[in-house]
Structure 1
Amino acid sequence: MKGSTMLLAGLLCLGAAAPALATSVVPKPLEVMVAEADQIVRARVVAVEMVDGKGRPLTDPRSRTGPGLDNQMRLVLQVQEVLRPRDGQVPATIRVPLWTMWHYTLGNIREATVGSESLFLLKGKDHAPVYPVDFQRPLDEWPRIQALMEAP
């Protein structure tokens, strides 16, 4: 499972190392992301969903996201523990929308994430990633994240 988490982390970071024509996002410091997060949860990815621009489910593992497409992929998380519930109670199951500009396929993200457990830094009522990259953190970062949450 740690390999799956690392694979997703690698996929999420691809934009930073890709050629100029690819979608990329400058990494944001963990300190800033923790400060901006409304919810920080430890959760297991139990499914990955995709819908088209009209909200219709897509099930073909070759379905894609990326520039010019209206498809939206979401990680379905089973929350194991709520570490920060800044905006009230966090449901037991949440759907985290991934940034639509990433060049992903449904099958690749399912393979990379389903069954993995991580810490997720989220914001808002729709539980969006606090930032398009690095919002999913390995479990061994919990002490560092906890220290950042307690820092003035």
Structure 2
Amino acid sequence: MKTPAILLAGLLCLGTVAPALATSVAPKPLAEMVAEADQIVRAKVVDVEMVDGKGRPLTDPGSRTGPGLDNEIRLVLQVQEVLRPREGRVPAKIRVPLWTMWHDSLGRARGAYLDSEGIFLLKNERNAPVYPMDFQRPLDERAQIQSLMVAP
């Protein structure tokens, strides 16, 4: 009769651990992110878009991203200043694709990002975030970011 009790105890333990199994990434030091960024801009988020796996726009605020879904949320940035340019000219507006493994919705992302301003640490021709989290930095970190840009 100990088997059902052990099974019940195991299920209870799993129930307390399961929320920790959600998609997450460890924080990354700012110095590492600045070193890895090939483009750094001061910008304002003027729109938040979502597309499906075929690039078709999704407008339902309840549309979701996350493991098993092909949807992608993109921040539309109005570039105000370029701190570290990539080769070539930086367009006035750029789209930044967010990490698709985040469990998120279009409505939540709009509420969190729309009209926010910051310094964005980006990489590659897709203007991808240099890291899935903390790639949008507060404006008051500008001096620190600039000092890290010249650090060896």
Report the TM-score, using the length of structure 2 for normalisation. 0.86
Q: Number of matched residues?
A: 135
Cα deviation per residue 1:36-60 (whole Å; 9 max; x = unaligned)? 1010000000000101111110000
SS at match of 2:21: coil
| Correspondence for 2:7 | none
| Correspondence for 2:137 | 137
Alpha-carbon separation, structure 2, partners of 1:101 and 1:86 = 26
| Correspondence for 2:59 | 59
For structure 2, the residue ranges without an aligned partner over 5 or more in a row are: 1-17
Tell me: higher relative CO, structure 1 or 2? Use CA pairs within 8 A at least 6 residues apart: 1
| Correspondence for 1:5 | none
Alpha-carbon separation, structure 2, partners of 1:87 and 1:60 = 36
Would you say 1:24 and 2:24 are equivalent positions? Answer: yes
Name segments (4+ residues, structure 1) moved above 4 Å: none
Would you say 1:101 and 2:101 are equivalent positions? Answer: yes
CA contact (8 A) 1:48 1:75 kept: yes
Would you say 1:147 and 2:139 are equivalent positions? Answer: no
Which AA in structure 1 matches 2:78?
Q
Which AA in structure 2 matches 1:130?
V
CA contact (8 A) 1:39 1:87 kept: no
Report the TM-score, using the length of structure 1 for normalisation. 0.86
Fraction of identical pairs, as percent: 77
Alpha-carbon separation, structure 2, partners of 1:86 and 1:71 = 27
Alpha-carbon separation, structure 2, partners of 1:89 and 1:55 = 25
Which AA in structure 2 matches 1:86?
R
| Correspondence for 1:41 | 41
RMSD: 1.1
Alpha-carbon separation, structure 2, partners of 1:19 and 1:146 = 38
Alpha-carbon separation, structure 1, partners of 2:23 and 2:131 = 14
Deviation at 1:97, TM superposition (A): 0.1
Which AA in structure 2 matches 1:36?
E
| Correspondence for 1:73 | 73
Which AA in structure 1 matches 2:40?
I
Which AA in structure 2 matches 1:45?
V
Alpha-carbon separation, structure 1, partners of 2:114 and 2:20 = 30
CA contact (8 A) 1:45 1:78 kept: yes
SS at match of 2:115: coil
SS at match of 1:146: helix
SS at match of 2:142: helix
Alpha-carbon separation, structure 1, partners of 2:65 and 2:87 = 29
Which AA in structure 2 matches 1:81?
E
